[in-house]
Amino acid sequence: MKKIGVIGAGTMGNGIAQVLAQGGFNVVLRDLKHASLEIAMTQIDKNFNRMIEKGKLSETEKQQALNNIYTTIEILDLKDCDMIIEAATESIEVKKRIFQELDKICDEKTILATNTSSLSITELASATQHPQRVIGMHFFNPVPVMKLVEIIKGMITDEEVVNSVIELSKALGKTPVRVEEAPGFVVNRILIPMINEAVGVFADGVASPNEIDEAMKLGANHPIGPLALADLIGLDVCLAIMEVLYNEFADSKYRPHPMLKKYVRAGHLGRKTNKGFFNY
């Protein structure tokens, strides 16, 4: 692989574009709005500057990486990519529409990956004429820092595609973990219900957000508390994942807590809105 497309210039998309560019790949970063692309490139530049300050990157390496990124609002600019990683909003309808568009313009050998954190790879693949080339490649936030990438094989995904994506992950300095398709995969099936339970503990008045997080950091040796982590992930994303788990398993233990729904309805989504369970 030489040229890789990334769809979505948000937190996950710009992080994925950054690590790909650092890895020496030509990156086409596509979003619907020029403003979103400008914000993404500003964030990538800031990330590189922090790495320079820490002695992890030279100015020359920064410029080389930035030169590897081409931004666009045109989906046709992705047509000759060897692989495309979709990092759009966590909506099955949105992602399926994107995959249908890509299916029309890309070569049948192009690998189509999704950064979904919980949705069915098999269902997304069904929106294309070549479901065997569709795979899950779930990065974690912040992408430049977090080592894990969950590699999720759909029901029809070719083994050759799986191996290619595993090798790409290693080339980016990541640690790929292969998992079979299931709601929430591995990490979020365990993590998000824990966050949901922390919301319940707060709602019941057992402890404050600060106290809950301090208890989990000191008592469970977690580097960050569950409510601060929820704010980092985005409360809307946490809710979306809980709803997927609840709908797929039809088990009450996965029912989203009403307080989580209330915060999302209020637009208190965490760090990206400067207010969640904590203020930023």
Q: According to the model, what pLDDT value does residue 168 have?
A: 98
Spell out, as residue ranges, where the chain has pLDDT lower than 50.
Answer: none
Q: What is the pLDDT of residues 100-114, one digit of tens each?
A: 999 999 999 999 999
Half-sphere exposure of 172 (CA within 13 A, CB side): 29
- Let me know if 138 is a catalytic residue: yes
| Domains in the chain, CATH or no CATH each | 3-180 (3.40.50.720), 188-272 (1.10.1040.10)
Q: Which of 68, 86, 120, 150 is catalytic?
A: 150
56 carries a ligand binding annotation:
no
- Let me know if 117 is a catalytic residue: yes
- Let me know if 34 is a catalytic residue: no
Q: According to the model, what pLDDT value does residue 239 have?
A: 97
231 carries a ligand binding annotation:
no
Q: According to the model, what pLDDT value does residue 266 have?
A: 98
Q: According to the model, what pLDDT value does residue 4 have?
A: 98
Closest-CA residue to 13 (of 108, 84, 81, 82): 84
9 carries a ligand binding annotation:
yes
- Let me know if 222 is a catalytic residue: no
Q: Which of 14, 138, 169, 181 is catalytic?
A: 138
15 carries a ligand binding annotation:
no
Residue 257 tokens, joined:
């807590």
23 carries a ligand binding annotation:
no
